[in-house]
Amino acid sequence: MNGAEFLRAAKELAEVRGITLDEIFTDIETGLNAAYKRNYGGATNSKVKLNPDTGEIKVVSYKIVVDEINMEDDEDAQVLLEELENPADYKVGDVIEEEVTPKDFGRVAASACKQVFTQKVREAERESIMKEFEGAERELLVGTLSREDKQNYYVDLGRAHGILPKSEIIPGEDLTMGSQVKVYVVKIELGQKGGPVILLSRSHYGFVKRLLEKEIPELNEGIVMLYSVARDAGNRSKIAVYSENEKVDAVGACIGEKGIRINNISKELNGEKIDVVRYDKDLVTFIKNALSPAKDVEVYILDPKENKALAVADGDNLSLAIGKKGQNVKLAARLTKCKIDVKTSSQVQEEGINIYKYYEA
């Protein structure tokens, strides 16, 4: 490979891999110096130089002009000013170079360049990929399902692949190889080989948050605020929203006209139901809202410090408040960050709970 070919290859690599020519040249010089010392036992005051304009590679021996030899530094790399043939032509600090390129160094250089190109470009590419994805954690990405094994799906994200564990997909959904898929980035960490390990999920509650932001402009614009999300992936999610503007219907904005917005999100979640409730600074009111679709529920705060609450419901509202296998009250508890115990009026009387001493909405 001559100088022109070398430069052309370096420029192509820099462009394709997203690294700079300076990085490539520095790495090549380092590799060439190592190869020269390994193959020729080069002196400590010799080095390989690469001309970035022509691609020419040569080995030079150098000495620094000094007025006194410093025994702590490399003596071979020093020459006294008074010992030079024409001392008037130099001054202390000048560097005198002499080319000492071996006759067959071109073969060694070509091999070293190839090795360094392969190794260093991979390292630079991995670093570039890490930088590209470092801001993607807890964000929503779109990729292509490229392959799978017993435990994971692998998602092509462009310059990197993400790992989507089969335990992190939505229960009941069927993913097809080659199809596009939206994923939530749970974590990005450095792998053993230096590249990024991108862990993905479709069952994480953060996936719902990011889908909401994509579908509902008011959330991105700050008109509507998302307070919290609670999720039982594949079954039901609850989201609590509010607005500082009294004229804005936060719940209606999320649901959309004829439910189109929330239905689009539900479709992406494989039919998962989504309850949109209104957040309220008053915890009692918030809990009542969170226990929807149950109505006529009385709520009492038993312990404000421990966030313990009692919800009293009767008839059909009892089963609605609790939900199938306790799902509704569990999600309401996560949404409100409060421990909620649901009882009937008769249970309250039987257990002798004096609800009148607690705050009631």
CATH number, domain of 184, equals 2.40.50.140
Number of domains in the chain: 4
- Residue of 22 and 285 predicted with greater confidence: 285
Domain termination site, one of 256, 279, 302: 279
Domain termination site, one of 184, 201, 218: 201
- Does 119 lie in the same domain as 38? yes
Say which range, 67-76, 117-126, 324-333, has the weakest mean pLDDT: 117-126
Range of the domain at 245: 204-279
- Residue 312 pLDDT more than 90? yes
- Residue of 356 and 301 predicted with greater confidence: 301
- Does 96 lie in the same domain as 56? yes
pLDDT attached to residue 356: 62
- Residue of 192 and 28 predicted with greater confidence: 28
- Does 209 lie in the same domain as 195? no
- Burial class of 324 by CB neighbour count within 10 A (0 to 12, 13 to 18, 19+): exposed
Domain termination site, one of 82, 111, 133: 133
Mean pLDDT within 12-24:
78
Residue 194 φ then ψ, to 5°: 95, -10
- Does 33 lie in the same domain as 119? yes
> Beta strand 225-232 with 273-278: parallel, antiparallel or unpaired?
unpaired
- Does 213 lie in the same domain as 196? no
- Does 129 lie in the same domain as 21? yes
Percentage of the chain modeled with pLDDT above 70:
95
CA distance 21 to 11: 7
Q: Is 193 helix (H, G, I), strand (E, B) or coil?
A: coil
Instruction: Indicate which CATH number applies to the domain containing 217.
Output: 3.30.300.20
- Residue 166 pLDDT more than 80? yes
Residue 239 φ then ψ, to 5°: -125, 140
pTM: 0.70
CA atoms within 13 A on the CB side of 308: 6
CA distance 259 to 182: 22
- Does 227 lie in the same domain as 149? no
The model's pLDDT over 238-274, given as tens digits with 9 standing for 90+, comes to 999 999 999 999 999 999 999 999 999 999 999 999 9
Residue 100 pLDDT grade (very low, low, confident, very high; cuts 50, 70, 90): confident
- Residue of 309 and 111 predicted with greater confidence: 309
- Does 168 lie in the same domain as 74? no
pLDDT attached to residue 122: 77
- Residue 221 pLDDT more than 50? yes
Closest Cα to residue 345, out of 289, 303, 307, 296?
296
